Amino acid sequence: MRCLPGYGYGLTFLFLSTVRNEQKELNISPVHDVNIPKATATFGMGCFWGAESLYGATRGVLRTTVGYAGGSSDLPTYRKMGDHTEVLEIDYDPTVVSFKELLELFWNNHEYGLTTPIKRQYASMILYHDEEQKQVALASKLEEQERRAPEVITTEIASKENFFPAEAYHQKYRLQGHKDLASSLNLTPKLLQTSYVATKLNGYLAGVGGIEQFRAESETMGLTPTQRQYCNYHVEQNEGQGLYC
């Protein structure tokens, strides 16, 4: 494995100090907020870590947050989820990616549970936000059922009534594995739920999207040259790897 210049096989204090100097000298800050009109989708696809990476690196996706929804209990946690399901909430720019296109990713990227019954925590679920989403989801499920017959799709389609963000250690799980990079982005527990740059990097660093797409989108993230070099290396190393939890 090739070393990054000056960093050995892991990030060091040198990385953080270099990034801080670049941020100051080049007047560069991580882009956490983007002022773009958005729509929201909510999906359950099994374990939510892989789904968050998948959608994070999808063009037009602005924010992802993992959490719990679809149940009746109040204030669920990972240890006490009750009848809720692990879900991903996605804010997206509908002028770039449509709800139907998001559904295409949904049908084709379940880790498990799409056509086999599974416990409620990992159920396949589409929680619609309005009548239009409901009709698109129902039509999409019919099309997918025809395609997959004789298998039977288990996906539940219901109105989104609640959403409880998961604990901070679940948010942007793949990005948090790159501890010094995450530190250099000034991420708070709240920003782990809402940050644009964290959303995008959590996908690209897991191998989604590919190096060319990353290079095109990286201009929007507020990365310094050193951060970008680090990300380029890991995006190239992980490109094409399967998502997993």
> Taking the model in full, what pTM does it have?
0.92
Q: Which domain holds residue 142?
A: 39-165
Catalytic-role residue among 3, 47, 231, 245: 47
Instruction: Please indicate, yes or no, if residue 238 is contained in any of the structural domains.
Output: no
Residue given tokens 């669920």 in the structure block:
76
Reading the block at residue 76, the tokens are 């669920």
Give the Cα separation of 128 and 123 in Å (integer). 15
Where residue 132 sits, what CATH number does that domain have?
A: 3.30.1060.10
Q: What pLDDT does 2 receive?
A: 36
Q: What pLDDT does 5 receive?
A: 44
Whether residue 64 contacts residue 56, with contact meaning beta carbons closer than 8 Å, is answered with: yes
Give the Cα separation of 99 and 93 in Å (integer). 10
Q: What pLDDT does 112 receive?
A: 82
Determine the 3-state secondary structure of 151 from DSSP: coil
Q: Where are the strands (E) in the chain, listed by range? A: 39-45, 61-69, 85-92, 124-128, 156-159, 164-165
Q: What pLDDT does 13 receive?
A: 75
Q: What pLDDT does 49 receive?
A: 96
Residues 6 or more apart whose Cβ sits within 8 Å of residue 109: 45, 50, 51, 54, 243
Instruction: Please indicate, yes or no, if residue 187 is contained in any of the structural domains.
Output: no
Instruction: Please indicate, yes or no, if residue 244 is contained in any of the structural domains.
Output: no
| Structural domain count, the chain | 1
Phi-psi region of 148 (alpha: psi -120 to 50; beta: other; left: phi over 0): alpha
Q: What pLDDT does 206 receive?
A: 95
Residue 156 is given by DSSP the state: E
Instruction: Please indicate, yes or no, if residue 2 is contained in any of the structural domains.
Output: no
Instruction: Please indicate, yes or no, if residue 49 is contained in any of the structural domains.
Output: yes
**Active site (annotated) includes residue 47:** yes
Which residues in the chain show pLDDT less than 70?
Answer: 1-12
Q: What pLDDT does 11 receive?
A: 52
Sign of the alpha-carbon dihedral angle for 30, 69, 40, 88: positive
Instruction: Please indicate, yes or no, if residue 129 is contained in any of the structural domains.
Output: yes
Secondary element (H or E) of residue 134: helix 131-148
pLDDT tens digits, residue range 138-185? Answer: 999 999 999 999 999 999 999 999 999 999 999 999 999 999 999 999
Instruction: Please indicate, yes or no, if residue 111 is contained in any of the structural domains.
Output: yes
Instruction: Please indicate, yes or no, if residue 203 is contained in any of the structural domains.
Output: no
